[in-house]
Structure 1
């Protein structure tokens, strides 16, 4: 029988001539489950390299899921370094080798004592762990030289920067100890891309308790932790490579280490609960189309004053509900259809409510196809205040409007329910034309100065990404001007898990930078919502956030956009069709040059 650990190896721990070790070692073999580890090893020891990894995973019936998008992040050629959290202490090393070696069989890894004894995997290992605190300085120098040579030859190098298995940290959560300074310095000097790899989960509660008592108990319990993962399915996520240029933004090794660690733990956000993408149990089918010819007739019979502009095949109309009741049915359908595709919506047959009847509607219409391209719901604040007071505002159902906000409400157009029909959602022009429509309405109504309303972030967004967006906005695009005037009915509490948000957001100063960060972190699955980005470009302030329980738990930010504070270039973009720009200069208080 081929053995990984023998009784004589344990006796060496106590000393070659120790009587205690002579009698205690056999008992420890059983207590530490090393006898069972040896039986497992015997079953896979005749395989070599990747075949040994395959045999081990098959024997243990261990599987793991990694999306194909993640696997594509592993460079096909050239050297790179992987950094991973050490969730399991041994199993994660085996999975790392199996995952990376499928594309890069030239992988080298620095591993712990237990793994280093697996002879069939020796071609993956560097002979000396240069970063082991128990290794002599001479051996450490030699090991670092070998690691550098590995990268110079174009090999990938796998590292677990903590150097030991995760345990309960100061946060009360299971996490790595601080990553070794020597490893981070090595990475900083290596000058190669770094690929973060995250292993979900952790060892058993029993193991974690023993680890808190003494490090020796932690080490002694590791073999049993390998065995108790039998039959498990684990989740592993691979992040986008962190380029050398991105690393060079950090001149301090601690800051670089913190960033690499944050990018690694942030990958936990990409392990999603598939159930959240299912429609709620109360979801009703979207209402079928009907009365289309009546809706078309309503549009064609609108007075010319209701047409804001007509560009190519797109026309923008601004009308009250009373003039377009049949068109509103189709708008209710299209709203619900558009919102459901991004995890929002009422999950009723139509997204229509009592506010629609008291509001105006900006409708972008395809004159050729006789179809709704998109729409906005707009409440004229002065009218609503005269008729209903603050109760006439839809936003008062999401946020608590105080008396101090009333002067703003009188001068505000309340925006909401913005959507682009599914047939046009991949086109950029429709949203620009809707915003052009908003400014045409503002030009016609000089008593108004503000756009207010909610902007949504879908509940489909992982909590980490919602929290990062929230933190960035509250630090860069919020205001204290309305403090005490408005409150959230269902406040949002950010949750960053094991990620330090200040580390990730350190260099993020613009919406575009945040957008790129979210795309990198999520493998292009998530980005800053386009409507959020659009409002921020207008220099809007987002005062606070609220969870909309009636809209599938969407996260809503309350925006206040002062049209006198809109950047000149944004004004010019949406008023190109107006030849006399002195009208625009007078209305928006800015000198413009074309």
Structure 2
């Protein structure tokens, strides 16, 4: 994918500067954080390794960067049901969200075998990954910026393929199973409004036991902040050399989401269908 040179940021060897990031959000907070904590955060976020990767691939944008990431992390991607993705039209790829990094990259990489016109709504933090901004649509979860919402709505209406994680958060262990949290109904509503069909998709992959155990402990202690999210980059590096299997189910017409169920019930129905996909092949 080619974007205009003048719109590309200059990626230096230290593109990600943790102190600057913290200072830009809260200058007083940076002063209060002990240096050993900063050092630990740099370690689990793999600042040096990420900066090295970004710099080595500073000229790779869009799909080229996806290829570079799959190669860098030596991820084996097995694809089942690729023929279920139409070559054109308005569709939603609706998927579970097991990993928090490589699942999205692998999903875009797989879909690109059929389509070039893909967009992925992501939170504004991921928009700081410059090489993938051509494929991303920003979502600001902490505000209701009218321009941001307008861009998002425009993309929902366009004749293109949208990739979407209805849970919004990475899967957690619940009742002994690794599964997404509640799926939001947004995709059901947008599917109805914009006549956008659904391609149910299941990504088979797991984070490390540490991630799930930390999430369980945090919840047990009554801590509301999702501190396990700090370890998601670390989970990406732990996943190096492993396998992701992606199942694409048969397309579901937007007309399926009729008035017999409420939107949230249809979201739950779709989630159950997605988790049952491996049994269909």
TM-score category of the 2 structures, normalised to the smaller one: 0.7 to 0.9
Question: Which one of 182, 202, 206 corresponds to residue 210 of structure 2?
Answer: 206
How far, CA to CA, are the matches of 2:250 and 2:54 in structure 1?
A: 34
1:53 equivalent to 2:58? Answer no
Please state how far the C-alpha of 1:196 moved relative to its aligned partner: 1.1
Cα offset, 1:120, TM superposition: 1.3
- 2:278 aligned to which of 245, 268, 286: 268
Q: Relative contact order (C-alpha < 8 Å, sep 6+): which is higher?
A: 2
Aligned to 1:382: none
Picking from 109, 121, 125, the partner of 1:110 is 121
Residue 86 of structure 2 corresponds to residue 86 of structure 1: no
Partner of 1:41: 54
Gaps in structure 2 of 5+ consecutive residues: 1-11
State how 1:240-255 maps to structure 2 within 5 Å: 240-248=250-258, 250-255=260-265
Q: Which among 21, 25, 30 is matched to residue 43 of structure 2?
A: 30
1:156 is matched with 161
Alignment partner of 2:75 out of 37, 58, 62? 62
Indicate the SS of the match to 2:267: helix
Contact 1:11 1:22 in 2 (8 A): no
| Cross-structure match for 2:196 | 192
Aligned twin of 2:151: 146
Q: What pairs up with 1:154-303 in 2 under 5 angstroms?
A: 154-169=159-174, 171-212=175-216, 213=218, 214=223, 215-248=225-258, 250-269=260-279
Contact 1:62/1:233 (<8 A) preserved: yes
Q: Deviations over 1:405-440 (max 9, x none)?
A: xxxxxxxxxxxxxxxxxxxxxxxxxxxxxxxxxxxx
* RMSD of aligned residue pairs (Cα, Å): 2.2
How far residue 247 of structure 1 moved from its aligned partner, in angstroms, is 2.1
Cα distance, 1:33 vs structure 2: 2.5
Q: Which residue of 1 aligns with 2:33?
A: 21
Query: May I ask how many residue pairs the two structures share in their alignment?
Result: 262
- Segments of structure 1 that go 5 or more residues without pairing to the other structure are 270-521, 526-594
Contact 1:63 1:234 in 2 (8 A): yes
Determine if contact 1:167/1:174 at 8 Å carries over to the other structure: yes
* Cα distance, 1:216 vs structure 2: 3.5
**Tell me, what secondary structure is at the counterpart of 2:117?**
coil
Note the alpha carbon deviations across 1:91-148, whole angstroms, 9 max, x for none.
Answer: 111112111123221101012455322211111011x215x2x2x12x2x54443233
Shift of 1:268: 2.7
**In 2, Cα distance between equivalents of 1:13 and 1:167:** 31
Post-superposition offset of 1:6? 1.5
Q: Which SS does the other structure have where 1:110 is aligned?
A: strand
CA contact (8 A) 1:7 1:26 kept: no
Cα offset, 1:9, TM superposition? 4.2
State the SS of the aligned residue for 1:66. strand
Q: Partners of 1:116 and 1:14 in 2: how far apart?
A: 16
Partner of 1:125: 136
User: 2: CA distance between counterparts of 1:4 and 1:22?
Assistant: 23
In structure 1, which of residues 72, 80, 83 is the aligned counterpart of residue 83 of structure 2?
72
The alignment's TM-score, normalised by the length of structure 1, stands at: 0.42
Which residues of 2 match residues 547-558 of structure 1 at below 5 A? none
Indicate which of 5, 29, 34 corresponds to 2:16: 5
Q: Is the 8 A contact 2:106 2:244 kept in 1?
A: no
Q: 1:237 to 1:142 in 2, by over 3 A?
A: same
Q: 1:93–1:111: 8 Å Cα contact kept in structure 2?
A: no
Q: Between Structure 1 and Structure 2, whose CA radius of gyration is higher?
A: 1
Deviations 1:319-366, CA, capped at 9 Å, x for gaps? xxxxxxxxxxxxxxxxxxxxxxxxxxxxxxxxxxxxxxxxxxxxxxxx
- Aligned-partner Cα distance in 2 for 1:92–1:82: 13
Alpha-carbon separation, structure 1, partners of 2:124 and 2:154: 22
For the structure 1 residues 242 and 2, does the alpha-carbon distance in structure 2 shift closer, same or farther, using more than 3 Å as the test?
farther
